[in-house]
Structure 1
Amino acid sequence: MIIGAGQVDLSIGGIFSLKEKRQIIKSIINRIQSRFNVSIAEVDAQDKWQYSVLGFCCISNDTAHANSMLSKIINFIENDGRVVIVDYSTEII
């Protein structure tokens, strides 16, 4: 069993409330869950307006597949025009 885990630090510009932030983050989380079938959640900075940290995880029987999934998720977030990736990390266990 191979576990792929990732963390993405996001900057969210042009918002003025936690409500707006939560709408954007919830939308991104739901789209990633439905498209990639992974576990994902906001894991830090819940009370900051323009910053968010998402953690996600997938399980596979192949290291290459897990790596590919993590890369696709990061690319998906990067292509979303509402957020900017500040930093990210991935790990294969």
Structure 2
Amino acid sequence: MIVGLLTVELHIGWATTLKDKRRVLKSIVDRVRSKYNVSIAEVDNQDLWQRATLGVAVVSNETSHVNQMLETVVRSIEANGEADLIHYSVEIL
């Protein structure tokens, strides 16, 4: 069993309240979860209204599949126009 962990840091520059941030994150999380069948949640910076850290997990029996899925998720999040991707890291267990 191969587990892939993706950590994504986002900047939501136009957000002026936590409500704005939550709306953007809900959109991203719901879209990614339904489209790619991965586990995704906000894991850090919950009290900051312009920063967000998302954690994504994928389980497979092949490392190449895990890498492909996580790269696809990164591209999808990056393509979202409401939040800017600051940094991401991938860890394979």
TM-score bracket, shorter-length normalisation = over 0.9
Q: Which residue of 1 aligns with 2:65?
A: 65
| Counterparts of 2:15 and 2:56, CA distance in 1 | 24
Tell me the SS of whatever aligns to 2:81. Answer: coil
1:38 paired to 2:19: no
Q: Where in structure 1 do 4 or more consecutive aligned residues deviate above 2 Å?
A: none
Tell me the SS of whatever aligns to 1:31. Answer: helix
The structural deviation recorded for 1:13 is 1.3
Kindly report the root-mean-square deviation, in angstroms, between the aligned alpha carbons of the 2 structures: 0.5
Q: Which residue of 2 aligns with 1:22?
A: 22
Tell me the SS of whatever aligns to 1:85. Answer: strand
Give the TM-score normalised by the residue count of structure 1: 0.98
The structural deviation recorded for 1:15 is 1.4
* Structure 1 stretches lacking a partner, 5+ long: none
* Structure 2 stretches lacking a partner, 5+ long: none
The aligned length equals: 93
Percent identity between the two aligned chains: 47
| Counterparts of 1:14 and 1:40, CA distance in 2 | 23
Aligned AA (1:33): R
